[in-house]
Amino acid sequence: QSALTQPASVSGSPGQSITISCTGTSSDVGGYNYVSWYQQHPGKAPKLMIYEVSNRPSGVPDRFSGSKSGNTASLTISGLQAEDEADYYCSSYTSSSTPQVFGGGTKLTVL
Amino acid sequence: QLQLQESGSGLVKPSQTLSLTCAVSGGSISSGGYSWSWIRQPPGKGLEWIGYIYHSGSTYYNPSLKSRVTISVDRSKNQFSLKLSSVTAADTAVYYCARAVVVVAAFDYWGQGTLVTVSS
């Protein structure tokens, strides 16, 4: 069982917006602004999309945005494109016994 | 551009030790401000952080694997390594090496991953 909880799947049509949630506790998501999001296409390595809750690395489209409220972080993708279809993982620093935890992943389907 | 490349045995027998190396190019593994991690992903499942080593040589391991894991660094070769002992079929996974920026706790560079199968 993953430390952070994500929905197993979400879907949306091209051009629409979707949001993926990532729920943790006050020891991880709620306690620190060190939430990151990763995109993983089949057979590929994960790619950093968001760090420190809402910051985008250079080269990541501004269609991707992140936010946090309490113990839940969210990744929003606006103007969905076919290439956005992938698995998405959240991660957080944590003060528990392991300093880094991942969510279980969410499969995004672009209809 | 930083690049990470995993290498090692793709097939390990149960009870033996899994050994992987991550070669780093385009940057120094001794640079401050970064940690160097191993992360794995069982087939069809999510990501699991195994552990990391800081540029200083300090190591941190996932408690669930701590008794079996050793991560070390070879600065002369600009690479770091993973050893996982007493493997079982549950250790079958794609193993990734990755760099984390310490101050933001995010993995910004990843290797392509290497599949390790535990089977007799």
Residue % of chain B over a pLDDT of 90: 88
Q: Report the residue from B37, B63, B105 with minimal CB separation from A34.
A: B105
Q: Using CA atoms, how far apart are residues B54 and A87, in angstroms rounded to an integer?
A: 29
The pLDDT score that the predictor gives to residue A98 is: 80
The pLDDT score that the predictor gives to residue B97 is: 98
Question: pLDDT tens-digit profile of B95-107?
Answer: 999 999 988 889 9
Question: pLDDT tens-digit profile of B31-67?
Answer: 889 999 999 999 999 999 999 999 888 999 999 999 9
Mean pLDDT for chain B overall: 95
End-to-end CA distance of chain A: 29
The pLDDT score that the predictor gives to residue A1 is: 53
The pLDDT score that the predictor gives to residue B31 is: 86
* Probe site for chain A from B47, B60, B61 (most A CB atoms < 10 A): B47
Residue for token pair 């600065």: B75
Q: Using CA atoms, how far apart are residues B89 and B98, in angstroms rounded to an integer?
A: 24
Q: Is A30 exposed, middle or buried (0-12, 13-18, 19+ CB in 10 A)?
A: middle
Please spell the DSSP secondary structure of A67-95, one letter per residue.
EEETTEEEEEE-S--GGG-EEEEEEEE-S
Chain B residues lying within 8 Å of A34, measured CB to CB = 104-106
Question: pLDDT tens-digit profile of A22-45?
Answer: 999 999 999 999 999 999 999 999
Q: Using CA atoms, how far apart are residues A64 and B38, in angstroms rounded to an integer?
A: 26
Q: Using CA atoms, how far apart are residues B48 and B61, in angstroms rounded to an integer?
A: 11
Question: pLDDT tens-digit profile of A60-97?
Answer: 999 999 999 999 999 999 999 999 999 999 999 998 87
Chain A residues lying within 8 Å of B105, measured CB to CB = 32, 34, 36, 91-93, 99-100
The pLDDT score that the predictor gives to residue B55 is: 80
What is the biggest distance separating any 2 CA atoms in chain B, rounded to whole angstroms?
42
